Amino acid sequence: MECPHLEDNACITTPNIKSENLPSRFVCGVCKTEQSPWICVKCGRIHCGRYVNGHAKLHHEEATNHAVCMDCDNLAVFCYKCDEFVINDTAPGHLEKLRQQLKSISSAQARMRQKSRRRCSTDSQENEKATKKIKKDDRLSKPRSSGLRNLGNTCFMNAVLQSLSNIQQFCGYIKQLPSLEEKVTKVKKIQTRKSKTPEEDVLLVEELRKTLCALWQGSKGAISPESLFAVIWKVVPRFRGYQQQDAHEFMRYLLDRLHTELLTLLPYPNSDSPFIGPKGKSTIVTAIFGGLLQNEVTCLVCGVESKKHDPFLDLSLDIPQQFCTRGVKAKDGEQLRCTLSDCLQSFTELEELEESELYMCSTCKKKQRSTKKFWIRRLPNVLCLHIKRFRWQSFFRVKLETFVEFPLEGLNMHKYILDNLHETRGSGSGSNEYDLAAVVVHHGSGAGSGHYTSYARHEGQWFHFNDSTVTPCEPETVAKCKAYILFYIRRQFKVPDYLSIRNGK
């Protein structure tokens, strides 16, 4: 957004750091953490971002006209008064000059760290053994995945991409695809006689493949997904600009577009996947995320039951109403704790439709009062659960801050499957049990603002992905987050044979 506070806040064009005292990394002046360093463009002091210990925000609250900061890692500019990322600059170009200085300092810091590593490698035999142990421990504590730079409120995209990149079967398949640019050229030649839209000139799956490959090279601390974001702007006009977007909406658009493109570009045989595309075919998207719901509507007058099967890539779960009121206490005086089971039970329980939703009964030949119930007819390999935290209140969208307790392991979906399919679909623990793979979290109170981060498990270790920063964390930290999107992987993961050759195993 265009920030009106720059002229009063932006003063410095270079950090107050002497070359002879150049630190190896930027650190917060209060807590000394290296995570998410932000520099105040008024005075040049460096503090940590609001999603670490929040000392940059505290500095703004204590000092007048110290509202604008620049992220030392990804060089994005944020204004605390506007509560948004900033895209404009002052007339003299203070921000651009500061960016160039930070780039130069970051390069010098990288050279310093490289020289330090070289000196360590020439130490004594004892030190070499210690260094090898440190490096081994470092490999165990850090994923091969890089961070993703924030391009200006693109945290919604980064959080979803990092979550999907840690689902091995999906990421491995996309990474091992051959370059599809040649196929795009052939498709364009065929379409020369037809009118084309800008969406037909770009290929999202190709840019996603390049981004995932770059992420798992592990050669950089963070990569910039500019090409992928540019394609998203073209194929989904609603995501153009730098305003905050909804991570769940982005995930759905991304998966739907990938499914459509893969059906067009690659040869897929007919499949009995629950999510059927054109000509009865499915892709890696539907093979992994695709499930099937059974929607049962019963007329309360004649008792006739209507059944409909609906494919899904994710389930959107309401937080039950009794857990949405702030300050509600249990009998023992403690705060009520909503669980994921409460949300799933609410999703599948019998519900009487409102007067405004009368059902057209085929027997009565008119609209009648009725009940509705959902069953899960077929479970997906990756169960994606979206917690509906945003609701319309009057003319505004508000966020529900209710904590939803969720299991990290052993989510059993047996009781939510259609009763008469329990035996035929199997009641074994592996077929209906899921383990958590990733979580997307929305921080902040506003529906159109705030920040997205994600947690994901890699080789048994949990990591927190906050744009450019990737840090290991404990399972207890993950369990305490207020989840927005949950990705659960089925213990008995099965994909069609024609997809297994590209599943990354």
| pLDDT tens for each residue of 418-460 | 754 443 444 444 578 999 999 999 988 766 678 899 999 998 8
Percentage, residues of the chain above pLDDT 90: 29
pTM higher than 0.85: no
Which class would CATH give 6-125? Answer: alpha beta
Cβ pair 159, 453 in contact under 8 A: yes
| pLDDT tens for each residue of 27-58 | 898 998 887 889 999 999 999 887 677 899 89
- Kindly provide the residue ranges of all beta strands, DSSP E only, lying in 234-356, ordered along the sequence: 291-299, 305-312, 315-318, 338-339, 351-352
Ordered by start, the domain boundaries in the chain are 6-125, 147-265
3-state helix, strand, coil in the chain (%, to 5): 35, 25, 40
Q: Which of 117-131, 260-274, 299-313, 458-472 has the highest mean pLDDT?
A: 458-472
Any catalytic annotation for residue 343?
A: no
Q: Does 475 score more than 90 pLDDT?
A: yes
Taking Cα atoms as reference points, which of 479, 451, 473, 454 lies closest to residue 465?
454
Which amino acid appears at position 317 of this protein?
Answer: L
pLDDT of residue 478: 96
Taking Cα atoms as reference points, which of 251, 311, 253, 248 lies closest to residue 282?
311
Residue 331 CA to residue 350 CA, distance in Å, equals 27
Catalytic residue among 155, 171, 299, 384: 155
Q: Which of 126-140, 219-233, 392-406 has the lowest mean pLDDT?
A: 126-140
Phi and psi (nearest 5°) for 105? -65, -40
| pLDDT tens for each residue of 112-149 | 777 776 666 555 455 555 444 444 444 444 555 689 98
Q: Do the domains at 6-125 and 147-265 have one common CATH topology?
A: no
Stretch 363-391: mean pLDDT:
89
Catalytic residue among 442, 451, 458, 464: 451
pLDDT of residue 280: 55
Residue 10 CA to residue 107 CA, distance in Å, equals 24
pLDDT of residue 190: 44
Helix (H) or strand (E) holding 388: strand 382-388
Any catalytic annotation for residue 55?
A: no
CATH number, domain 147-265 = 3.90.70.10
Q: How confident is the model at residue 178 (pLDDT cuts 50, 70, 90)?
A: confident
Q: Which of 351-355, 363-367, 418-422 has the lowest mean pLDDT?
A: 418-422
